Amino acid sequence: MTGVDLARPRVIEFPSIGDASTGILTVAALYRDIPFAVRRVFWTYGTPPDVTRGRHAHYRTETVLVAVSGKIIVSTEFPGGELEKFTLDSPARGLYLPPLCWRTMRYTASAVQVTFESEDYSDEDYIRSLDDFRAMRSPSARERC
């Protein structure tokens, strides 16, 4: 690998207030819960359960995913080849995805995914080829980013 100390994917537990008798309020505060300044929010829903979304990594963008409804299975791959799988099935839980983290997502029919990102949309920030992503294991490829 590169010697660069990359941040790893990690689950975030958001503070929640209330209970089933009143309903629950969940808070995501800048830097306390989401570790970057949010520049863009989008939501994804109605994804058929046999469809895999994602299939990309970003050069710079940091991401937090939340399943505000339903269940999302997120599979990640790191440039060192490390594979992880996360289940998002609570509106009070998020998943932080750092740059250079390949991700795929599968959804239950009722799943609504809210995504917070650190950058404006840019097609140039996407790595959409898994072969290109895996080629980044070489230090010379990393230096070009």
In the chain, what are the helix, strand and coil shares in percent, each to the nearest 5?
10, 45, 45
How far is the C-alpha of 54 from the C-alpha of 71, rounded, in Å?
Answer: 15
C-beta of residue 34 within 8 angstroms of C-beta of residue 28: yes
Q: What would the x/- binding string for ligand TYD be over residues 19 to 58, using CB under 6 A?
A: ---------------------x-x-x--------xx-x--
Nearer to ligand TYD, 4 or 121 (CB): 121
Nearer to ligand TYD, 2 or 130 (CB): 130
Distances (CA, A) of 35 to 11, 80, 143: 12, 23, 25
Is residue 121 involved in binding ligand TYD (CB under 6 A)?
A: yes
Residue 56 designated active-site = yes
Q: What would the x/- binding string for ligand TYD be over residues 55 to 94, using CB under 6 A?
A: -x--------------------------------------
Paired tokens of 28:
């995501």
User: What residues contact residue 54 under an 8 Å CB cut-off, 6+ apart?
Assistant: 74, 103, 104, 105
Q: Where are the alpha helices (DSSP H) in 27-136?
A: 130-135
Catalytic residue among 53, 55, 56, 137: 56
Q: How far is the CB of 89 from ligand TYD (least distance, A)?
A: 18
Q: How far is the CB of 51 from ligand TYD (least distance, A)?
A: 9
Catalytic amino acids? 56
| Footprint on this chain of ligand TYD (rule: CB under 6 A) | 40, 42, 44, 53-54, 56, 121
